Amino acid sequence: MPELPEVEIMRQYFEKAAMHKTISALEFHDPLFKVFKTSPEDLEQALIGQEFLKTERIGKYLFAQISGGNWLHLHFGMTGDLELFRHNELPKYTRFVIQFEDGDKLAYRDLRKFGVIEVVESPEAYRLSSNLGEDLLSITKEDFIKSISNRKIAIKTALLDQKHYAGIGNWIADEVLFNCGVHPNTSCQNLNEAQLEELLLDAQKVVREAIQKDTHYGDFPAHFFVNYRKEKAMHPDHPNSPVERLVVGGRGTFIVPEKQKLQ
């Protein structure tokens, strides 16, 4: 699920669900502690009796400021999300629960456990220490072009690298490459500045539109490539060129061959 737009919607959900309410207890439901980078004791120390003051997001990484100091960092891996609940049965695949004094409970769910829960000093400190780029929506054209133009890797692999600009995931990369008519295996060196700028602007546009639709895929415009992102599907603009699947950088990748030729 979670690429930049999904995490932005999750941030807005967290704002509504968890802000300014006293935390009374925590629950841990991941026996091997795969998703926890901070120990339960330290999480309790940091969170219990405190409240969340505000949220920030960098790419796919979500942060919430804790009143007692430091920030809670959440990453959602491939299958993570949040669910506010009050009843007794645990939402499916719940790994972590934050209980509030008012009886609300916030579940962090993550089927595959690729996500991360930890306490960090600040979003910016985390960004710098983990070599994370700036958020896709705030990076400048110049920085984007500089970071990509001399690389010797496939453009799709470069788009998925979170090191220079954070937020693009697998479906958005395919979406943008389709929109710009670029084959995902094109070497970065073979793209000129105008093409790179077009890729950035399109990525930002796709992200904004997805956020505006609350990332409900069903509400996306009909021309969105993600609607046809499966083998042999037919994009309405290319009725004679069925969608093809290939693997780029180890990730499933879909293209319309007629529009996206290798250069």
Please give the residue ranges that form the binding site for DNA (CB under 7 A): 1-3, 6, 32, 34, 59-61, 75, 77-78, 111-114, 130, 151-154, 157, 160, 162, 169-171, 217, 245, 249-252
Three-class SS of residue 107? strand
Q: CA dist 263 to 154, 183, 257, 259, Å?
A: 11, 8, 12, 12
Edge-to-edge strands, sheet with 105-110? 23-28, 94-100, 105-110, 80-85
CA distance 82 to 23: 16
Three-class SS of residue 23? strand
**Dihedrals phi, psi of 83, to nearest 5 degrees:** -145, 120
DSSP 3-state percent helix, strand, coil across the chain (nearest 5): 35, 25, 40
Q: Least distance in Å: CB of 197 to DNA? A: 20
Decide whether 75 or 105 has the Cβ nearer to DNA.
75
Edge-to-edge strands, sheet with 61-66? 52-58, 61-66, 71-75, 116-120
Decide whether 151 or 238 has the Cβ nearer to DNA.
151
Q: Least distance in Å: CB of 214 to DNA? A: 13
Q: What's the token pair of residue 110?
A: 């993550």
Q: Least distance in Å: CB of 159 to DNA? A: 10
Gyration radius from the chain CA atoms: 20
Decide whether 67 or 189 has the Cβ nearer to DNA.
189
Pairing verdict, β 94-100 and 80-85: unpaired
Q: Least distance in Å: CB of 44 to DNA? A: 23
Q: Least distance in Å: CB of 222 to DNA? A: 17
Decide whether 32 or 194 has the Cβ nearer to DNA.
32
Decide whether 100 or 228 has the Cβ nearer to DNA.
228
CA distance 165 to 237: 30
Decide whether 51 or 110 has the Cβ nearer to DNA.
110
Q: Least distance in Å: CB of 260 to DNA? A: 17
CA distance 248 to 188: 14
Decide whether 181 or 252 has the Cβ nearer to DNA.
252
Q: Least distance in Å: CB of 97 to DNA? A: 17
